Structure 1
């Protein structure tokens, strides 16, 4: 539902949100709020089970998708 106070973004390259929104940007502001990101791929599969480096990389990829979407 559109809001005059905020823009809600759920990037298509990140898994669908479950009870939350990936990105919220207050209208008229230059700040974005990102929800906690996990090492999940688009299909809710954990990336790099038992491999912290691979999991960290997946989290950074999800953050990158979140902040570059438009």
Structure 2
């Protein structure tokens, strides 16, 4: 066997191992600027995909922001999401999927959601896939909305 062949075989093997191990690597991130999670991670990076847990309208102290006010809650939630994305080196431009959960969702709630969303997500140019679900309630009766996201690493 020639030395060149052996070297090529080693290089191919190392590249394959690196690609395989990169897909298996997971990072769990709980960024400063969002409340401390209880039994879950805010951000998980795995195989080039970033998963952001459902964010609700709480500040870093865990206090509900905007009780009874969907617009204020949406702004807080999107700010939390922005912090979570930044912790993985991303922005809203990197988001590929959003899931919205709105308590007792009415048509006027969708209008408010879209008004706030456009300040964060460019819906005119390659917006992410999206699902909006009206729900009866969330884990805390003061929460009116929860949003989770999936993004891709650059």
TM-score, normalised to structure 1, is: 0.86
Name the structure 1 match of 2:66. Answer: 48
CA distance in 1 between counterparts of 2:55 and 2:42 reads 8
1:7 aligns with 2:31: no
Pick aligned residue for 1:22 from 21, 38, 42: 42
Q: Which runs of 4+ in 1 moved over 6 A?
A: none
> Aligned-pair distance for 1:5?
2.3
Greater radius of gyration (CA): 2
1:31 aligns with 2:49: yes
More strand by share: 2
More helix by share: 2
Give RMSD over aligned pairs.
1.2
CA distance in 1 between counterparts of 2:76 and 2:48 reads 26
Unmatched 5+ stretches in structure 2: 1-23, 89-154
Count of residue correspondences = 65
> Aligned-pair distance for 1:44?
0.6
